[in-house]
Amino acid sequence: MSEINNLERFIDKMKSGQLAVGAVITFTDPTVSELCADAGMDFLWIDGEHGVMDRTTAMLEMMAIRGTKCASLYRVPACNHTEIKRIIDFAPAGVIIPMVLTKADAELAVAACRYPLTGNRGVGLRRQLRYGADPLTADYWEKSLHEPLVIIQIEHIDAVNNLDDILSVPGIDSLLIGPYDLSTSMGKPGQFRAPEVCNALDTVCRKCRAAGKWLGAYTEGDYDLWRERGLHYVCSANDTGVLFNGIRAMKERVKKEFGRD
């Protein structure tokens, strides 16, 4: 499956000690994903939680970056078996599960990403088998024990408080910190340097690394806040923000160059 989604390349980059850098995709034109992959992104976070991304478009986004060096991660709308089932046969490199608050949530997420007897994923003969080009062999079943990556999003103080229980669930591959929602759940929206927010971030990072899981975060600037926290991968921007900021900067530059407001 990794030749479809570049999972091994993504993992190898992190194993080597390099930082994997990606972006959030919310636009529904797959050209944006193709462009980002060709621009050198290591992974794309295709977002099915916020925005208007539907199931068909999500598959087209994944197809657009096949053959590049970019891994496809997909964020489902909720920690829900049906939502995960509806996307997993498209063969993303990883499934991002938002708002995991408890051990029970984490158990549900892992089970939905794995076949029986480990989990309860259904057997759908779709893109992950190249529509029948790849046979259902023992090699496939072995790979399916580890693919896709199960990425648990930590974005609420309840999740931080329950983190030991969450990390005790077998099969979690990564924690992905959502700092905006986390700080908001603490009554400190966007105040990432508030002492209590910093303490929560430190707790997640320390426990994730101690558990041997891949550690990621959505950063969008504030790089000095994250530089010493041991991240393996960062999502550095979203497509709307890049376009907005680029257009605004272009306008200001034009006005400056022409000397006219």
Q: Which residues are catalytic?
A: 50
Element at 203 (helix H, strand E):
helix 195-210
CA-based nearest residue to 154, from 195, 116, 211, 111: 211
Please say whether the beta carbons of 197 and 178 come within 8 A. no
Phi-psi domain of 40 (left: phi exceeds 0; alpha: psi -120 through 50; beta: other): left
Question: What distance in Å separates the CA atoms of residue 55 and residue 86, rounded to the nearest whole number?
Answer: 7
**Structure tokens belonging to residue 251:** 């306008």
What angle (nearest 5°) sits at the alpha carbon of residue 185, between those of residues 182 and 190?
Answer: 60
Structure tokens at 237: 């921007």
Beta strand segments in the chain, E? 20-25, 43-47, 71-75, 94-97, 149-154, 174-177, 214-218, 233-238
The C-alpha R_g of the chain, in whole angstroms, comes to 19
For residue 30, cis peptide bond before it (omega within 30 degrees of 0): no
17-20: list long-range contacts, CB under 8 Å, 24+ apart. Answer: 19/231, 19/232, 19/233, 19/234, 20/232, 20/233, 20/234
Rounded distance between C-alpha atoms, residue 96 and residue 94, angstroms = 6
Cite the beta strand spans of 132-173 per DSSP E. Answer: 149-154
